[in-house]
Structure 1
Amino acid sequence: MANSTSSYLWRKKTLEMVLSETEAEQFKLKKTLTAIDLIALGIGAIIGTGIFVLTGVAAAEKAGPGIVLSFVVAGLACALAAISYAELASMFPIAGSTYNYAFVGMGEFLAWVIGWDLILEYVFALPAISLGWSGYFTNLLGSIGINIPAWAANSAWQAPGGLINLPAIGILLAVAILNYIGVRETATINNIGVAFKVFVVLFFIFTAVWYVKPANWSPFLPYGWAGVFHGAAIIFFAYIGFDAVSTAAEETKNPGRDMPIGILGSLGISTVLYMAVSAILTGVVSYTQLNDPAPVAKALNLIGLNWARGLVSLGAITGITTVLLVMFYGSTRIIFAMSRDGLLPPAFSKVHPKFRTPTLAIYLIGIATMLVAGFLPIGMIAELVNIGTMLAFILTSIATIVLRYTQPDLPRKFRAPGMPWTGILAILFVLVLMISLPWETWVRLIVWFVIGLFIYFGYGRHNSILAKQQTQH
């Protein structure tokens, strides 16, 4: 029995199997993305909720002006993990991101674990982000005299007098339609949105820098170094987008060259912008005044630049929209990849004959996220999404190290420098941040994985493509 169990838990896909899957006509996705598209895809996912929402909360409650160092710590942890992502994405130009890397490096069971974890990361992030979008959108309409009725702007669980959050449902529906039409169209909309929100971020930097008062940076570490790490654990949510770039490998024209550029380029640009905004934000206003869902707009108001609030709010809406676009895209590709391997029902890997997009996966994600965003409360969702992302980063780093030793001859168009030490450092950095999260978050993660284990042992292991191949032989 033990041998039988181990045989299916650790069965692996080969590189040849991975590459042949991408050529099968019934699963074929359209290759349209370039390095510039990938950088924009990454920035589209990264710059949004973190810079426009979480920066103020993390500064006020956790790190003070030391939030700049929190971004350095979180960015460094992500950079170390990103190096592993870049190597693996250049080796395996296939949808599914870490899920497929784990399938080749560590076997089917751990691939299921990481795939289920990625579904947690993307699908639970979408409703939370859409509620942030809804808040900014409602406020922007209110500023020009258009007031959405209270019953239509929140559910009863989200605010008193609420019934349904129509703006949150509306933006998720629009994002679902864009993903349904095709990746090229999604990328074009994303590129335009990224250009605008980077303009707004630069506008804030060059407008507000003249109002910086160095006295606001004192004390620089009011909560000590523990506050810096607690702040990093919260704003880690701001970085979760760069790994979504790796889910686009199968739809990239030259993945071996372009995936590392897209992953590392988007992460580097975003980190520099984050540090600049957080330094200026805590320099123009005392960190004690930044506990606000729209800290950038509030800071502009407090220094007398109320005329700029509308532009920043519009930038925030655009920024959060592009995050939703990329997160939605990534979630459907994970489900598509798991279905193609037989671990989820085959209907989820059927692609539209014209648009070449995974239709049923898009329906599933769209309906589930709209129901959650429209009616349910989203409490502590950032921590839950963060812990799922951190686990994905750890498993990606482990997979890179394992493949270096078990399959050293595989072609690597990009080699992560300093292996295995960069991988080990990534694991240690991310573990420190995971420990900084509340114990309740760990409990929720365990519950999610118990559900996943029932699905794997009840369905996935019996219907796996590898299981069927073993039966035939």
Structure 2
Amino acid sequence: MEHSRGQSAPRSIFRRTSPEDALAATHDPHRQLRRTLTPWDLAVMGVAVAVGAGIFSVGATAAANYAGPAVIVSFVVAAIVCGLAIMCYAEFASSLPIAGSAYTFSYATMGEGVAWVIGWDLILEMLLAAAVIAKFWGVYVGDALHLFGIDVPMSFHVGGVSVEWGPVLVVAIFTTLLAIGTRLSTRVNAVFTALKVGITLFVVVAGFAYVKAANYHPFVPPSQPSTAGTSALHQSLFGWLLGWAPATYGAAGILSGAALVFFAFIGFDVVATTAEETKDPQRTMPRGMLGGLGVVTVLYILVSVVVTGMVPYTDLAKSASPSLTTAFVLVGATWAGKVISVGIVLGLTSVVMVLLLGLTRIVFAMSRDGLLPRGLSRTSPRFGTPARLQVGAGVVVALIAGLSQVHLLEEMINIGTLSAFVLVSFGVPVLRKLRPDLPRGFRVPWSPVLPWISGVACLWLMLNLTTLTWLRFAVWLAVGAVVYATYSYRHSRLGRGEVVQAREEDSLL
């Protein structure tokens, strides 16, 4: 049955909000975002968040430890999986152009309980990602300064506590810009993105001069037992459940490499969080997201072709931290280190900005629905942004990045992203069945087959993450369940009858 306003919704975690009511919430003058972004802005944002330090290292690491030259195939596999998920995001975003990304989409299809889980996961993903990238930004700034002969302390002490100033500085700058206005931030972001893409292309062109065809043989190295990560906690969950002996290279290595390099493509779900700030979102969201993914895929494959063609993958494997710089050093081109270090700093700078934006938009959407304190979703009448929330999120990220060893939780970012991809993929056929009449600016072709394939592929990549990551993920979900049971379930605007309850479908339950 439809619920009328003022009545309490059924006490069920499967209660859903209607798309119409979700869209109506965006007109609240105290919680309204301004539509200023174009397809170009979204494409640049996607490139900005996906092209960071990883473009110079993740391909080399995957080649050295997992796939050899076939890391190129790993990138193609990861890009295809991400592309399928992005099409699902694009359909949802063109149907429900609301802040919140996968959280909002899940609320309209699978109910409040699932929406809470995915929103909680996205907070984990973007909070840790922003802190990790800010942490690395400080490290690489120090490295870059050292390469140019400038040595400065990268930390200072406050009351006996060591604080790294680099992460705090970059978070403070972009928190201020984002609080002032999303449009201004995207213009600054576009400058940094253009510079880092230019440096990447320059390094790739320079690297091609050192490529030797012999280094691509064997393209798929034969499988061999792994000498690292043999404990159950450091095996993939899938391999541990089946009792497989840890191995590297071969076909399994290509898939393991795909799970690793998938990290390069996370962030496009962050772009979906800006749907409420996008002009003509039915057309803009699909074009911007898919266009950005295309550029990122080409860049990563080009770097992988160069790094595996410059030196044998076995030489990369001898390095403790293989990267494109490693390949240039091995061929005697030590000059490249300085250029790459500048590219890394520029790359990470724009990544931090986009992640801070995505984090606040997820919290904003959950707060507006009452699952988190409503005061967090109030927007500034002057700037049209959730300025107080943006500042609060920036303070939390800066504290985590400046004071902790957050990089030890890096793989948690992948599992948070993939869990969102899984639910969005499976949610497309659900929304089509529930609301076939809903206008869609973009439709995933061959539905429900492609969305199902996307969901299963993302689930497969999740199972290739380590058992330790899954245990940490379970702890995070347990904490989220406590928060939902003690606060969010009772304060939900839907549960309190302040919004219309969507029609319950027996097929969902």
> Shorter-normalised TM-score: what interval?
over 0.9
Deviation at 1:382, TM superposition (A): 2.8
Asked if structure 2 preserves the Cα contact closer than 8 Å seen for 1:54 and 1:293, the reply is: no
Q: Report the CA distance shift for 1:353/1:397 in structure 2 as closer, same or farther (over 3 A).
A: same
Q: Deviations over 1:14-42 (max 9, x none)?
A: 12112111111111111110001110011
Deviation at 1:218, TM superposition (A): 2.2
CA distance in 2, matches of 1:84, 1:203: 34
Aligned to 1:282: 308
2:484 is the alignment partner of 1:456 = yes
Q: Report the CA distance shift for 1:142/1:294 in structure 2 as closer, same or farther (over 3 A).
A: farther
Q: Report the CA distance shift for 1:414/1:472 in structure 2 as closer, same or farther (over 3 A).
A: closer
Deviation at 1:401, TM superposition (A): 1.3
CA distance in 1, matches of 2:364, 2:315: 44
Deviation at 1:472, TM superposition (A): 11
CA distance in 2, matches of 1:247, 1:49: 23
CA distance in 1, matches of 2:55, 2:137: 13
CA distance in 1, matches of 2:313, 2:176: 40
Deviation at 1:471, TM superposition (A): 10
CA distance in 2, matches of 1:44, 1:293: 24
Deviation at 1:230, TM superposition (A): 1.1
Equivalences for residues 253-264 of structure 1 within 5 A: 253-264=279-290
Gaps of 5+ in 1: 157-161
Count how many residue pairs are aligned between Structure 1 and Structure 2. 463
Aligned to 1:179: 178
Aligned to 2:460: 432
Aligned to 1:402: 430
CA distance in 2, matches of 1:380, 1:393: 23
CA distance in 2, matches of 1:209, 1:362: 43
Q: Deviations over 1:400-442 (max 9, x none)?
A: 1111112111111111101001011111211221111111111
Correspondence for 2:131 among 99, 115, 127: 127
Q: Report the CA distance shift for 1:289/1:134 in structure 2 as closer, same or farther (over 3 A).
A: farther
CA distance in 1, matches of 2:47, 2:348: 11
Counterpart code for 1:283: G
CA distance in 2, matches of 1:151, 1:79: 40
Q: Report the CA distance shift for 1:106/1:472 in structure 2 as closer, same or farther (over 3 A).
A: closer
Asked if structure 2 preserves the Cα contact closer than 8 Å seen for 1:196 and 1:318, the reply is: yes
2:442 is the alignment partner of 1:443 = no
Counterpart code for 1:77: V
Aligned to 1:43: 47
Aligned to 2:327: 299
Asked if structure 2 preserves the Cα contact closer than 8 Å seen for 1:136 and 1:316, the reply is: yes
Q: Report the CA distance shift for 1:340/1:270 in structure 2 as closer, same or farther (over 3 A).
A: same
Deviation at 1:293, TM superposition (A): 5.0
Deviation at 1:6, TM superposition (A): 6.7
Aligned to 1:23: 27
Aligned to 1:159: none
CA distance in 1, matches of 2:260, 2:423: 20
CA distance in 2, matches of 1:441, 1:472: 38
Correspondence for 2:361 among 297, 311, 333: 333
Correspondence for 2:415 among 372, 377, 387: 387
CA distance in 1, matches of 2:255, 2:499: 50
Asked if structure 2 preserves the Cα contact closer than 8 Å seen for 1:64 and 1:221, the reply is: yes
Deviation at 1:76, TM superposition (A): 0.9
Aligned to 1:378: 406
Asked if structure 2 preserves the Cα contact closer than 8 Å seen for 1:128 and 1:373, the reply is: yes
Deviation at 1:186, TM superposition (A): 0.9
Q: Report the CA distance shift for 1:376/1:411 in structure 2 as closer, same or farther (over 3 A).
A: same
Counterpart code for 2:270: A
Aligned to 1:167: 166
Q: Mean Cα displacement is larger for which, 406-415 or 324-333?
A: 406-415
Counterpart code for 1:219: P
Q: Mean Cα displacement is larger for which, 395-404 or 301-310?
A: 301-310
Equivalences for residues 66-465 of structure 1 within 5 A: 66-149=70-153, 151-152=155-156, 163-222=162-221, 223-290=249-316, 291=319, 295-465=323-493
Deviation at 1:182, TM superposition (A): 1.2
CA distance in 1, matches of 2:190, 2:320: 29
Query: Secondary structure at the residue paired with 2:274?
Result: helix
Counterpart code for 1:179: L
Asked if structure 1 preserves the Cα contact closer than 8 Å seen for 2:11 and 2:495, the reply is: no
TM-score (norm 1): 0.93
Asked if structure 2 preserves the Cα contact closer than 8 Å seen for 1:180 and 1:355, the reply is: yes
Q: Mean Cα displacement is larger for which, 127-136 or 97-106?
A: 127-136
Counterpart code for 2:87: I
CA-based RMSD: 2.1
Counterpart code for 1:125: A
